[in-house]
Structure 1
Amino acid sequence: MEMLMHEASKGPDENENSKCCRPYQDQKPNDEKVEIMTEKHHPHLTLSKKDVNMDITFENITYNVSLGFRKGTKEILHSINGRLPGKQLIAIMGPSGAGKSTLLDVLSGYRITGVEGTVYVNGRVRDLNEFRRSSAYITQDDRLQPLLTVKENMKVAADLKLGTDTPEQEKKKIIEEILTTLGLKGHLKTKAERLSGGQKKRLSIALELVNNPTVMFLDEPTTGLDSSSCTQVVNLLKLLARQGKTIVCTIHQPSASLFQIFDQVYVLSGGECLYQGAVDQLVPYLESVKLPCPMYHNPADYVIELACGEYGEDKIEPLVAGTENGRSLQWFDKSLNLLDQRALRGAYSRKEACPNGNSDVQDIKSKKESGKSLQATSQLHQLKVLLMRGFIKVKRDPTLTHLRIIVNICTGIMLGSLFIQAGNDGYRVLENYNLLFGILMHHMMTTMMLTILTFPTEMSILQKEHFNRWYSLKAFYISVTIVDIPVSVLCCTLFSFIVYFMSAQPADVTRFAMFFTISLLVSFVAQSFGLMIGAVFNVVNGTFLGPTISVPMMMFAGFGVTLRDMPAFLKWGTYVSYLRYGLEGYVNAIYGLNRKTLACKEFYCHYRKPKIFLNEIAMRDDQFWNDVIALTVILLITRVLAYILLRWKLMATR
């Protein structure tokens, strides 16, 4: 009687958990109705007969991470093994630091450096490039284009991930099916930045469903979501698994109701496997190793507590031994009829075992690119789509476009007001020289710092989309370069017109063209430095490094110390400082071309003759084209270096 009263007094969550341990294995989610609905109404999500289910096996996977210079390495994964059957929703569980995300990265191919061991697909050694064409990886953070609407994000994904031979009508149909299934059809015109956490997660999944991958890896898909959104996302994954996909995701500590939705579970602790098999076999397994789950206790909570060592470190060893560090297949659902590797190879033809017909043996560490492109479309088509997306972002971006234009106008007005009418006054030549250096600083800092602050965000999206074969790095880099040109030209034009004419510089078309050319080149070079820094460093380190690098550039510009007075052992710095060429170009534009004597409104103007001033600052008046050539060469070199660093960063993260 007391027990019944105790049960009745519990809230709904407690009653849910109380059902878990003993009768837990008899509880199965009722998802047959969902499956029938999807088969009938959303055929795109169902694998066709030609598609091959992916049965993934991994053996002796070890991962070592470098601890830094002279500090050696640390082993994160310790020769673990496992089986990921097809058509299953599989959870990789474990406490923080257990190696869940690392294992997911290794299995997806996202991480290849420091990895040892072998991954098999349908009984054959995995060809990494071919595997990537049939799989998708969804990161823990939702790396979406925030300024694009749901419809626009999906349109870009469809244009890049589906071949150009796919008709537009077919693409629209696929997008509609996916968004309807994921409950996003009512948010077609909503920008991604305005979606809720659950909606963003579903959109992330929707983008990768466009090309119907056979295997999907998701890192912590429920992080940051409320219980309702968690259930929606996991139910969606279960639905996709029922349609023939292998769904593998990491999850930290699910509730009892969420845990029972999964088909299989793989439990990690300290880089070793504590359990792998069916969810409803976890309780019997714990009993078999004499660590029974207490009555009215959520098995998911209990196994995590064991993995954390809350009941003693000695409890972990029998769990690892019980599953043979992932080798044992004893606790999988018997209805799966799991075959060994040899039988699997026999069950699938050579062509089926490696999708797209390539079955070259290649282990998990392989970095070699096959002759066939990883992307579904040509680089020219990728560039076209990325340019379209880029121009939409530029039009809507409040920082990169709107604020940038406003800053250039306001700064131009302030500088013009401060140095008003200084350009034609022989008494104010030094003031005008200060103005030219101030203009140089403006072009350098605004473009470089803006890129440093914004590009790391773009970098995180690039890492996900490039790995999932949306586009090549070349297409992305060219699009980034082209998209920014109109905005840079517009900002430079507005600023130059305002400051040039307010400060009464020579009213000559040729001189203004020279002034504008130098301004534009300096802006592009500064942006290249921003790209190099933003590609390698995060925002915090980048904002420190950017100004730090700029200081020697200013020192060698010839402003504070003339080029003539520069110490011999530092002369080399004047040849690598793009600010030197920018300042010299400005001086040539304003005071070169044999400019006549300046008007003098005071009793004596020492620099009324431009040649005297040029001699004083140790600059010649015939160096303009040399400065243009030098800036162009520096621009090309820095752009190439930025691309190399970007490629290196992409590979270094793997």
Structure 2
Amino acid sequence: MMLAGAEIVQKDSVVYKPDDSNSETAVSLAVEGPSQEVPPPGAGLARVPTRDPVDIQFTNVTCTVKLGINKGSKQILHGVNGRLRPRQLVAIMGPSGAGKSTLLDVLSGYRITGVGGAIFINGRGRVMKNFKRMSCYIQQDDRLQGLLTVGENMFLAADLKLPTNLDKYEKGEVIEDILTNLGLYEHMNTRGSQLSGGQRKRLSIALELINNPLIMFLDEPTTGLDSSSCTQVVQLCRSLASQGRTIVCTVHQPSASLFALFDHVYVLAAGHCLYQGTTKNLVPYLEQAGVPCPIYHNPADYVIELACGEYGEDKIDLLTTKAENGKALDWFEESDSIPTMEGLRKTYPLSALRELESGAGDEETPQSNQRSVLIRRGFLKAKRDPTLTHLRILVNVVVGIMLGSLFINAGNEGSRVIENYNLLFAILMHHMMSPMMLTILTFPAEMSILSKEHFNRWYSLGSYYISITIVDLPISIVSCAIFSVIVYTMSSQPLTAARFGMFFAISLYTVLVAQSFGLMVGAAFNVVNGTFLGPTLSVPMMMFAGFGVTLRDLPPYLYWGSYISYLRYGLEGYINAIYGLDREQLECNEALYCHYRRPRTFLKEIAMSADRFWWDILALTISLLVLRTLAFLLLKWKLNAVR
């Protein structure tokens, strides 16, 4: 038998691959039985794990979640136990609400709050930092960059996850190997948003295979797929497991043929373990327990019916007792001698475990490389994004023309100073609402991708945050500049470079501060709550801006609000740009008498000074830094809070 050009020698149900000059000996268990065929010769990735396999054991695992304020809590997992063997495709099954996804979250380390019990790696307590380096978690919803092609997604992921000393050709070989084996190579130039459900699922797996993890957790990988795509995904997982990986999936209710593709099954009901063992031993187990599976009935369907309590709650208690809530290992493969914890510690001493943890997955690449790759990805997405880029520029053009047309020649006419004041406040509202609401509406979708990529150690949160700040800056500058030129010239504001520069600086600062405010809201809340809270929290900013109610008319007990309102500094900055710098008296062509012909009269009326521009810039700078910092902290909190 041949595999990738190397001779295979079978001995004692173990397949040995002879050593070559470039790799260590790879060992994989032979799988017997007509329904458990080994992938055909030549199948599987060329980059097989070269380090020790991982045996996972968990004991007395509990998980309690909070139901909300004053609603108490609910225990999801009730002291379950289990064993996840390497080179086996393990399915966690159970009805809805049984705790499948919760158990997978706990085992993968995605959920850490409200969790009890112990998890062991090769006989020793799990160290989360090291465990995450050798594992990955592929969640149920395919969180992909839809604007990027399959090839772009893969190359950018390779630049983030593979050592920087590999050149693009070496990375290309890795990507070609993965995409060829996953049936995605012919879709290299297809955007993620145009892939089918099965292709998206396989791409999600392909992205995590780049750094060759030893352990893979997949939450409902077959959900939403047709039978053919389900079979392809499960066969792929089976092939990956046979190469030495530990792969665990949650499955809701597989067909009989799909169920037969799994090596082991772990059945949950209401947070208790009803069975763990091989799929072919499930029927004998049920028969011995006194609840035999009817002839010609899908065992997977039947055990789910039992777990739902359709045959009585006593059957659940019976099976939980027989399985010892997951402690019983009697129904594993007979030929598979299961080592004890002590045996695992002898087989894998601390030195071997340290080597495993340090080399099972590649370290995050340097921060500078992460920022470079993320910035490149950000600009590529921005170029193709019709909302964040194209529509944003178009809106600024349209609104600029509308406001300019409505207030033509208002900037130079002494009888229209109040109108011009209204224009400046309208400009301020545009620069506040548009970027803030756009960020609130779009960032939660990006948040889900960030959560997945950050958890799987693609990059640090700091690198991501810096990259989105840098990527958005040119778009903000261009759109703000286009708007400023249009509205400034059409409304006949004073055409001097200094005044326009001041006007543009205040406009850009207001946009950046509003974006930061929107990012802070978008990071902490979902779209529904964010779209409500964003405008609501902006109302006090408008109240204390000095428009309508002048700053001197504010009650003393409310005056403090003017110091935290960035709109106050924006409006004051506009007034300084247009009417400050000792501006000469205005023209009075449209009225017999112009009360505000002298700008000083108007400044005195609205209680604003003409020499506070740089103080306004300083205040906006501080506001920008504070809000950006708060947004980062909220983002960091949200990433940990969901766990």
Give TM-score scaled by structure 2 length: 0.93
Amino acid at match of 1:433: Y
d(CA) in 2 for partners of 1:375, 1:584: 50
d(CA) in 2 for partners of 1:237, 1:187: 20
d(CA) in 1 for partners of 2:36, 2:93: 23
Give the match for residue 557 of structure 1. 545
Question: Using a 3 Å threshold, how does the CA distance of structure 1 residues 133 and 537 change in structure 2: closer, same or farther?
Answer: same
Counterparts of 1:636-651 in structure 2 under 5 Å?
636-651=625-640
Counterpart secondary structure, 2:584: coil
Counterpart secondary structure, 1:564: helix
Give the match for residue 43 of structure 1. 46
Counterparts of 1:92-131 in structure 2 under 5 Å?
92-131=92-131
Counterparts of 1:13-28 in structure 2 under 5 Å?
28=34
Counterparts of 1:232-631 in structure 2 under 5 Å?
232-356=232-356, 375-601=363-589, 602-631=591-620
Deviations 1:20-50 (CA, angstroms, capped at 9, x unpaired): xxxxx99643533x242125xx311x222xx
1:434, CA displacement in angstroms? 0.4
**8 Å Cα contact 2:212/2:361 also seen in 1:** no
Structure 2: runs of 5+ lacking an equivalent: 1-30
Question: Using a 3 Å threshold, how does the CA distance of structure 1 residues 542 and 510 change in structure 2: closer, same or farther?
Answer: same
Counterpart secondary structure, 1:37: coil
Give the match for residue 82 of structure 2. 82
1:71, CA displacement in angstroms? 3.3
Deviations 1:204-260 (CA, angstroms, capped at 9, x unpaired): 000000011000000000111111111110111011111111110101000011000
**8 Å Cα contact 1:451/1:534 also seen in 2:** yes
Structure 1: runs of 5+ lacking an equivalent: 1-24, 360-371
1:607, CA displacement in angstroms? 0.8
d(CA) in 1 for partners of 2:326, 2:361: 35
d(CA) in 2 for partners of 1:238, 1:319: 28
Counterpart secondary structure, 1:280: helix
d(CA) in 1 for partners of 2:102, 2:36: 32
Amino acid at match of 1:47: P
Counterparts of 1:50-65 in structure 2 under 5 Å?
51-65=51-65
1:334, CA displacement in angstroms? 1.5
Counterpart secondary structure, 1:203: helix
Give the match for residue 14 of structure 1. none
**8 Å Cα contact 2:162/2:362 also seen in 1:** no
Give the match for residue 208 of structure 2. 208
**8 Å Cα contact 1:127/1:354 also seen in 2:** no
d(CA) in 2 for partners of 1:349, 1:427: 87
d(CA) in 1 for partners of 2:135, 2:585: 72
Question: Using a 3 Å threshold, how does the CA distance of structure 1 residues 648 and 179 change in structure 2: closer, same or farther?
Answer: same
Which one is further off, 349-358 or 325-334?
349-358
Equivalent pairs, count: 612
d(CA) in 2 for partners of 1:532, 1:269: 40
**8 Å Cα contact 1:35/1:243 also seen in 2:** no
1:73, CA displacement in angstroms? 2.1
Give the match for residue 366 of structure 1. none
Amino acid at match of 1:117: G
Question: Using a 3 Å threshold, how does the CA distance of structure 1 residues 319 and 476 change in structure 2: closer, same or farther?
Answer: same
**8 Å Cα contact 2:211/2:362 also seen in 1:** no
d(CA) in 2 for partners of 1:374, 1:114: 30
Amino acid at match of 1:636: L
**8 Å Cα contact 1:130/1:356 also seen in 2:** no
Amino acid at match of 1:644: L
d(CA) in 2 for partners of 1:357, 1:418: 66
What is the percentage of aligned positions where both structures have the same residue?
64
Which of 30, 35, 53 is the aligned partner of 1:29?
35
d(CA) in 2 for partners of 1:61, 1:579: 52
Amino acid at match of 1:109: G
d(CA) in 2 for partners of 1:430, 1:544: 31
d(CA) in 1 for partners of 2:298, 2:357: 45
**8 Å Cα contact 2:163/2:362 also seen in 1:** no
Question: Using a 3 Å threshold, how does the CA distance of structure 1 residues 316 and 26 change in structure 2: closer, same or farther?
Answer: farther
Give the RMSD, CA atoms, in angstroms: 1.6
1:337, CA displacement in angstroms? 1.1
Amino acid at match of 2:411: G
d(CA) in 2 for partners of 1:511, 1:199: 55
Amino acid at match of 1:31: E
**8 Å Cα contact 2:76/2:270 also seen in 1:** yes
**8 Å Cα contact 2:273/2:326 also seen in 1:** yes
Deviations 1:92-145 (CA, angstroms, capped at 9, x unpaired): 000001000000000001111111111011111111111110101001000001
**8 Å Cα contact 1:515/1:586 also seen in 2:** yes
Give the match for residue 653 of structure 1. 642
**8 Å Cα contact 1:427/1:606 also seen in 2:** yes
Amino acid at match of 1:516: F
Deviations 1:629-654 (CA, angstroms, capped at 9, x unpaired): 00000000110111111111111111
Amino acid at match of 2:293: C
1:532, CA displacement in angstroms? 0.5
Counterpart secondary structure, 1:36: coil
**8 Å Cα contact 2:134/2:357 also seen in 1:** no
d(CA) in 2 for partners of 1:171, 1:376: 16
Counterpart secondary structure, 2:276: strand
Relative contact order, higher structure (CA 8 A, sep 6+) = 1
Give the match for residue 148 of structure 1. 148
Amino acid at match of 2:399: T
1:560, CA displacement in angstroms? 1.2
d(CA) in 1 for partners of 2:419, 2:361: 58
d(CA) in 2 for partners of 1:336, 1:616: 89
d(CA) in 2 for partners of 1:215, 1:351: 20
Counterparts of 1:167-246 in structure 2 under 5 Å?
167-246=167-246
Question: Using a 3 Å threshold, how does the CA distance of structure 1 residues 121 and 323 change in structure 2: closer, same or farther?
Answer: same
Counterpart secondary structure, 2:42: helix
Give the match for residue 134 of structure 2. 134
1:354, CA displacement in angstroms? 4.3
Amino acid at match of 1:447: P
Give TM-score scaled by structure 1 length: 0.92
Counterpart secondary structure, 1:633: helix
